[in-house]
Amino acid sequence: MANKSRNRTVQNQEMKGNEYVSTEQGGGNFFGDSHRLMMKVKPYLERFVLEVPNRVSQNRIVYIHEGAARVRINFISYELRKGDVLLIPSNYILLIESYSNDIEPWMLDFNFGTEEEKEMVGIETLYFHMEERELKVLEYYFSLLSQIDNSSVRTNEDVMHLVMSMLYYLHQMYDARTGHLSWQKIPRAKQIKSEFVNMVVTLDNPPLTIAEYAKALHVSENYLSIIVKNETHQTVKKWIEQRTETQIKMLLAEPKGRTLNEIADIIGYSSPPQVVRFFKRRTGMTPYEYRKMALKERARLQK
C-alpha cells in the first residue's frame, strides 16, 4: 500500500457522467445515466477528496485488475487485491481509505428498474477472490460491454441482458469460491441483518432507536441485537453511531457546509454541543477541524 497521506479517497457526491474516464476501447459512459463503464480509472480515483464518505447512487461491480486498496462499505472494512471482485448494491456508503500506486480497478455502474432485476443484484455486498480462468470470463464481459457501447446498433436491452448474465456468473462464482449462499437462498437471519443495514445507511432521516428498528423489521429488540451481533460482529448501537458519524462527515464536507444547528436537527440531536462531543469522541477531531481538512483537500485537488 502506498502511504495513506499520498492516497485519495472518495468525495461526498458521485461524479457526473462526463467526468468519468473513458476506456482505451472508447467506452466510458453509455445509455445516459443508466449505465457507466470505467476501466483504467486511476485518474478518476485521484480526484476524490480525502476521508469523506460517499453514497453509491447505482449498483456497482468492481474488479481489481491490478494493485490493492483498502475500502469501507457500510462501515465494514475490505482489503482488496488483484483478482478481487465486489458487487455493491445501490445506496450503500463507500469510503476508499487507501490504494496502491499501481491500482487499476474496472467498474460497471448500472441501474435496474423492475423487482426481478433488483433481485438479481441482491441485498448483500458480494466480495470474493476469483482465479485466473474465472477472471478471463469476467474480463470478457467487460470487453463485450465496451464493444456494445461502440456498436451502431446498440440497444438498452442488449446491455441489460449482458449485465444480468454477468450477475448470474458472479453469484455462481461467489457460491463456488466461498461456499456461502447468495441471492437465491438467503437465510432469514441474514435477510434481517441486510434489511437492518439498508435501513441504517439510509441517511434521509434521523437514525432510529434500537426499539424502532426492531419494530420496523417485525422482530424483538433482543432478537435483532443477537442477529446483528452474530452476523456483523458489531452491536446495533455501534451501527447507529457509525451511521451518525458518517452522516455528520458528509454534511460537513458539503462545499457550502451546514451549520452545527442544522446538523444537530438533521441527525436528531438536541444541540450543537452534543454534536461536537459525539464527533470528537468518535474521530478525535472537532467538526470545524474535519470541515477545514475536507475543504482544504478539495481546494487542492481543484487547482
pLDDT tier for residue 7 given thresholds of 50, 70 and 90: very low
Residue 136 cell numbers, joined: 478471463
Residue 269 cell numbers, joined: 440531536
CATH of domain 4-178: 2.60.120.280
Q: What's this model's pTM, rounded to 2 decimal places?
A: 0.74
Residue 38 cell numbers, joined: 470505467
In CATH terms, the superfamily for domain 188-302 is: Homeodomain-like (1.10.10.60)
Q: What is the dihedral of CA 116, 121, 122, 124, to 10 degrees?
A: -170
Domain boundaries, the chain: 4-178, 188-302
Q: Does residue 237 carry a pLDDT above 60?
A: yes
| pLDDT one-digit tens code per residue, 159-170 | 888 888 999 899
Q: What is the dihedral of CA 294, 71, 107, 201, to 10 degrees?
A: -80
Indicate the residue type of 259. Answer: T
Residue-level pLDDT at 155 = 72
Q: Does residue 99 carry a pLDDT above 80?
A: yes
Distance CA 102, CA 81 (A): 11
